[in-house]
Amino acid sequence: MDIDEIQEELTGKPQPPSNEVKSKRLTEKIEYDQYVTCVINDELFAVDTMKVKEVLKYIPLTPVPGSKEYVSGLINLRGNVVTVIDTRLLFSLSYKSPCEETNIIVIDFSENEMIGFLVDDVDEVVNVAQVHIESAPSFSSDDFKSNFVQGVTYYKNNLLVMLDFDKILLYITPEDDPEIFPTTSTN
């Protein structure tokens, strides 16, 4: 999109051709990423749509005795067992009982496994220009959870926090599970 097309889009009026030298920045193609926005503890978060398998309304969960506190339970999704994580507890926020607005965002973890994440509500799918995403602030070098934030931007005058689900999955997945992290024999 060149400067004339941008002006036309902003003003709604066709612009006469410009003989001026155009800015390299304006003539470059702007890359957009799509995100599913969700609400957790009255804050707006975003999940890359490429990670999202599907979004479900809340359904009752089967508890998992002896699991981490943030593991809410299991669901059967068309014959597949899905572990459901409570994002509030994972993010060290206060517990909130599921309600009518509660959703489960299902993420493909591996070829054979999906993980669901409880969120207070799913808002919408948005397109965000990559140039508008700022680096995630560094909170603490020794707290792995601070790495859950991939970046931040503003959307409709609200701070939108982009979550890094690769790092979240790395945090919640036990590295000693041989099905997920096979060890190679050095015989």
Q: Is the pTM of this model over 0.95?
A: no
Report yes or no on 166 lying in a domain.
Answer: yes
pLDDT of residue 186: 44
pLDDT of residue 22: 46
pLDDT of residue 5: 56
pLDDT of residue 66: 92
Report yes or no on 3 lying in a domain.
Answer: no
Report yes or no on 186 lying in a domain.
Answer: no
pLDDT of residue 173: 80
Report yes or no on 184 lying in a domain.
Answer: no
Q: Which domain holds residue 166?
A: 30-172
Beta bridge partner(s), residue 28: none
User: From the centroid of its chain, how far is CA 93?
Assistant: 18
Q: Is 23 exposed, middle or buried (0-12, 13-18, 19+ CB in 10 A)?
A: exposed
| CATH number of the domain residue 165 falls in | 2.40.50.180
Q: Which long-range contacts (CB under 8 A, 24 or more apart) does 92-96 make?
A: 92/145, 93/40, 93/41, 94/41, 96/41, 96/120
Low-confidence ranges of the chain (pLDDT < 50): 3, 7, 18-23, 142, 177-187
Q: Provide the domain count of the chain.
A: 1
Report yes or no on 37 lying in a domain.
Answer: yes
